[in-house]
Amino acid sequence: MKPLRSIFIVDDDPIHQQITEIMLQRLNISESVSRFSDAQDALDYISSNLHDPMALPDLILLDLNMPVMDGWEFLEAFAAVRDKLPGKIRVYVLTSSIDEKDRERVNAFSFVDGYLTKPLSKDVILQLAK
């Protein structure tokens, strides 16, 4: 299995960020993991690197409930820049929410590849690498 080049973790919880990053590194599914505590920072990074495919992630793990810009606002804004991307960025919502309404709302974003609940398991991480 060839590792993904880059994964972004977008989550305001530093403990969750660290746990996820450690699991990703132990399973060796990505060459690089970047953490963003604010979804706006992740969006700004993506927007400013639209013409540099090597700077963009292969995969984004996105939390929904964050201060400043939450995951919903990120998804709306990402939808607007998606068509300008040089390639596909896979987006997975990674949340502690078990609310069925959140899952249904995420399904409205056709580009979201999955809805995952925290914490990530080894099996789920290995599926992400495929």
Domains and CATH numbers, the chain: 4-128 (3.40.50.2300)
Q: Which residue has tokens 């078990």?
A: 98
- Stretch (H or E) spanning 91: strand 90-95
- Stretch (H or E) spanning 68: none
The per-residue pLDDT for range 37-78, each reduced to its tens digit, is: 999 999 999 999 999 999 999 999 999 999 989 999 999 999
The per-residue pLDDT for range 116-125, each reduced to its tens digit, is: 999 899 999 9
At residue 1, does pLDDT exceed 70?
A: no
pLDDT of res. 79: 97
Q: Helices in 6-99 by DSSP H: which ranges? A: 14-26, 39-48, 71-81
